[in-house]
Amino acid sequence: MKRLLSLLTLFFLSLSQSSFAASIDGVLLERGTKTPLSDVNVYILPHQLKATTDENGKFHFDSLPEGPFQWSIGAADYEKLERDDEIQNQNITRTLYLEKSSYLTFETTIVGKRDKQDVTNRSLEAKEFAQMPGSGGDPIKAVQNLPGVNRATGLSSQVIIQGSAPQDTRYTIDGHEVPIIFHFGGLSSVVLPEAIEHVDYLSAGFGPEYSRAIGGLVGVWTRDPKTDRLHGFGSVDIFNMGGMIEGPIGKESSFLIGARQSYIGAVFKQIAKKEKSFNLTVAPDFKDLTGEFQTRLSPHDTFKLVTVGSEDQLGFVLSEPVGSDPSIRGNFSDETDFFRIIPEWTHVHSDNATTRVSLGLGRDFVKVDVGDDFFNLKTYSLTSRAEHERKWDSLWTSTFGIDNRLTWANVDLKLPVFYNAGGVPNPLSSGALRELSVSSTYEDVGAYIKNQIKMGEDSRWTLLPNLRMDYFSETRQVLPAPRLAARYALNEYTSLKGATGIYYQPPTEQQANDQAGNPNLVAPKAYHFMVGLEKDFREGSSRGLVWTTGPFYRIYDHLVEASTQLVSKNGTLVPENFNNSGVGTSYGYESLIKADFAPYSLYMSYTLSRSTRNQPGQPDYVSQYDQTHNLNLMAAVDLSENWRIASRFRYVTGSPYTPVVGGIFDADNDTYIPVRGPYFSNRLEAFYQLDVRIDKKWIYNTWILSLYLDIQNLTNHKNVESVGYSYDYKVSQNTTGLPVLPTFGVKGEF
Condensed to tens digits (0 to 9), the pLDDT of residues 700-744 reads 999 999 999 989 899 999 999 888 888 889 888 888 887 888 888
- Rounded to whole angstroms, what are the CA distances from 204 to 305, 425, 611? 32, 31, 14
Helix-then-strand count for the chain, H and E: 3, 44
pLDDT of 278 higher than 60: no
For the cut 80, the answer to whether the pLDDT of residue 148 exceeds it is yes
Contact of 204 with 499, CB cutoff 8 Å:
yes
- The arithmetic mean of pLDDT across residues 543-569, rounded, is 92
DSSP states of 315-351 as a string? EEEESS-BTTBTT--EEEEEEEEEEEEEEEEEEEEET
Structure confidence by residue, pLDDT tens digits, 299-343: 999 999 999 999 988 765 444 445 555 555 556 778 889 999 999
Q: What is the spatial distance between Cα 135 and Cα 710, in angstroms, rounded to a whole number?
A: 9
Query: Residue 697: CB partners within 8 Å, gap ≥ 6?
Result: 32, 103, 104, 642, 704, 705, 706, 707
Contact 342, 383 (CB under 8 A): no
Mean pLDDT is lowest, of 165-179, 265-279, 403-417, for: 265-279
Alpha-carbon distance 445 to 475, whole Å? Answer: 12
Query: Could you tell me if 586 and 162 are in contact, meaning their C-beta atoms sit under 8 angstroms apart?
Result: yes
Which band of pLDDT confidence, cut at 50, 70 and 90, is reported for residue 632? very high
Angle at CA of residue 161, ends 159 and 167, nearest 5°: 60
What is the C-alpha end-to-end distance of the chain, expressed in Å? 66
Per-residue pLDDT reduced to its tens digit, 63-86? 788 788 999 999 988 999 999 988
Most confident by average pLDDT, 114-118, 170-174, 194-198, 327-331 = 170-174
Asked whether 258 and 243 are in contact (CB, 8 A), the reply is yes
pLDDT band at 219 (very low <50, low <70, confident <90, very high): very high
Cα(142)–Cα(138) distance, integer angstroms: 7
d(CA 330, CA 370): 8
Q: Is the bond leading into 480 cis (omega within 30 degrees of zero)?
A: no
Under the banding of pLDDT at 50, 70 and 90, the label for residue 108 is very low
More confident residue, 121 or 55: 55
**For residues 314 and 301, what is the distance between their CA atoms, to the nearest angstrom?**
43
pLDDT tens profile 454-509: 988 889 999 999 999 999 999 999 999 999 999 999 999 999 999 999 999 999 88
pLDDT at 434 over 60: yes
Structural domains in the chain plus CATH codes: 21-98 (2.60.40.1120), 110-221 (2.170.130.10), 222-749 (2.40.170.20)
The pLDDT of residue 18 is 42
Coil, helix or strand for 731?
Answer: coil
Q: Is the pLDDT of residue 40 over 80?
A: yes
d(CA 121, CA 110): 10
Q: In the prediction, which pLDDT does 578 show?
A: 92
- pLDDT for 85: 87
Per-residue pLDDT at 203 exceeds 80: yes
Pairwise pLDDT comparison (452 vs 599), residue with the higher score: 452
Q: Which residue has the higher pLDDT, 516 or 257?
A: 257
Helices (H), 20-159: none
